[in-house]
Structure 1
């Protein structure tokens, strides 16, 4: 099975962008990653077993391309996160603060947090996508949560002062 490119764009474009942005921290780079991922899907002769297989493959490709983009020597200057935050619309102030806290995490924690909480993947599925052990995923989730707790606790205590 291989869904049409139009169906894949409709169903996964926003998820791919969110995953790429969580790695790149740049809207332009994330858009490039999404386009590159969709182009690779379109040219790929691979047949997929299920809809979940398509989704996992697309996210794995997008995350790998985003990581490659952040490693390039001639990487464009990205907008500072604060400038980009002004262009986003959040449901509440807490959502905005949580997004900033997640984006402040190191990449390896940010990716697993994104896949677990925003994409609803299980630990095993994340391990398959990132090609790491489930134990490593659990460790990264635990450390990411601990970092988030610390960041959010500091922000909360600053607000009370």
Structure 2
């Protein structure tokens, strides 16, 4: 069982990161907030033992990504319609980039988010996603190409 101090530390340290990764998967702020709560509940219920802070962070990211995938795969989610929800950005260019990233397929969005927003290397992303480093490199390369094309179309 986790102590209140441990739980508070994890929330303070990782809640923002988890919100970013769940939003990048779900493209909906309220769904992302719900997902973060579910991840933190799993952390409390399972009370896993970690060898380091990096191991803890990777576990939380893995659980968050899996939770989002499960949520997106459920039948209810496939039959509903999204309301257009925009998150204000600091400037129009940043908003265009965020929009372009949000339109990528989930497998590309995930690696782009982990690489550029969370600062993980391709090897670390491969470990988190249980993939090969070459697969992650390929996905990053394809995602960059898709983003370049989408942003080129936006500029024109």
TM-score w.r.t. length of structure 1: 0.89
Shift of 1:45: 3.0
Task: Pick closer, same or farther for the CA change 1:49–1:67 going to 2, 3 Å.
Answer: same
SS of the residue aligned with 1:113? Answer: helix
Which SS does the other structure have where 1:74 is aligned? Answer: helix
Counterpart for residue 73 of structure 2: 71
Cα root mean square deviation, aligned? 1.5
Kindly report structure 1 stretches of 4+ aligned residues shifted beyond 6 Å: none
Matched positions, count:
152
1:104-146 CA distance string (max 9 Å, x none)? 1111101000000000001011001111100000000000000
Aligned-partner SS, 2:85: helix
1:37 deviation in Å?
Answer: 0.5
Instruction: Please give the alpha-carbon distance, in whole angstroms, between the structure 2 residues aligned to 1:96 and 1:147.
Output: 17
Task: Report the CA distance between 1:78 and its aligned residue.
Answer: 5.3
Q: Where does the alignment leave 5 or more consecutive residues of structure 1 unmatched?
A: none
Unaligned runs of 5+ in 2: none
1:115–1:126 Cα contact (<8 Å) kept:
yes
Find out whether 1:129 has 2:131 as its counterpart: no
Structure 2 counterpart of 1:143: 142
